[in-house]
Structure 1
Amino acid sequence: MNKVLLLLFIFLACACTSTHKIDSNVEFERLYAALKMEEILSSFGGEVNISPEKILSEILRDLPESQKRAFIESMPSTVMADTINVNAAKIIFKSKLTSLLTAQELKIAADFYSSNIGLKAHRAIIDAEIAVSESLN
């Protein structure tokens, strides 16, 4: 009986100490969902607002003001962009992330971006990148 209990104890100890293998595919999907990448990628197509003033002012700087104004006013303020293949973009995104991050790192990132502070940080980063992009144009 003692041997059975000892074997049972050893088995339980081994079971408790065995490490759970982290699946990088599962963790990628968690991270992808937490980042709301499907929504972000889907939003790239469709109508895009542009500023004719920003685009043409520098290019047309040598023209008389009346001609420059005529060109700027004739340009549309929105253009249609082709929608992107979200599935292809996801495959590329996954390939790049899984080549740069281990399964454990993907899990940590998914845990972080699934939290409220992670979502807030993600939105702040996107807003900052947009601000930088707009200021450089």
Structure 2
Amino acid sequence: MGKLLLFLSIFLACACTSTHKIDSNVQFKRLYAALKIEEILSSFEGEMNISPEKILSGVLRDLPESQKRAFIESMPSKVMADPINVNAAKIIFKSKLTSLLTAQELKIAADFYSSSIGLKAHRAIIDAEIAVSESLN
């Protein structure tokens, strides 16, 4: 009986020490890397401040130049004057994800998107969103 209690005590001690708290910051970094957000941001040619006009020009690239210009000029001047700060965007992205997902959920998402299937699914979702956007224009 004494040996059984000793075994159970050792087993419980080992079980307690092997569990560790999942760090949401670490899991966010893994997810951010898996989604290749840095690569997406660097596609803006390393600019720290991205012009809203540049983004709109890219999104509206299939429109005739006169329509594209009319749309851009119809945007409020405040929107067009304020550059988009990439560092601020990353902070907002992190803040929103960490407020909506637990550390465990971030870990699961990072594990999934780090896999080849997860990356393929991510790319497929982006392509599908682009297709929907283009078909609605």
Report the TM range for the smaller structure's normalisation. 0.5 to 0.7
Cα distance in structure 2, aligned partners of 1:123 and 1:100: 22
SS of aligned partner of 1:51:
coil
- Cα pair distance change 1:124/1:55, threshold 3 Å: farther
Q: Which sits farther off after the overlay, 34-43 or 19-28?
A: 34-43
* Alignment match, 2:37: 37
SS of aligned partner of 1:22:
coil
Cα distance in structure 2, aligned partners of 1:28 and 1:118: 16
- Cα pair distance change 1:28/1:55, threshold 3 Å: farther
- Cα pair distance change 1:55/1:112, threshold 3 Å: farther
Q: Which sits farther off after the overlay, 125-134 or 14-23?
A: 14-23
- Cα pair distance change 1:55/1:124, threshold 3 Å: farther
Which structure shows the higher helix fraction?
2
* Alignment match, 2:64: 53
Larger Rg: 1
1:51 maps to amino acid = D
* Alignment match, 1:75: none
Cα distance in structure 2, aligned partners of 1:13 and 1:56: 69
Deviations 1:64-94 (A, max 9, x none): xxxxxxxxxxxxxxxxxx9742221110000
Cα distance in structure 1, aligned partners of 2:128 and 2:65: 20
- When normalised by structure 2's length, the TM-score is 0.66
Segments of 5+ residues of structure 2 without an aligned counterpart are 45-49, 71-81
- When normalised by structure 1's length, the TM-score is 0.66
* Alignment match, 1:14: 13
Identity %: 72
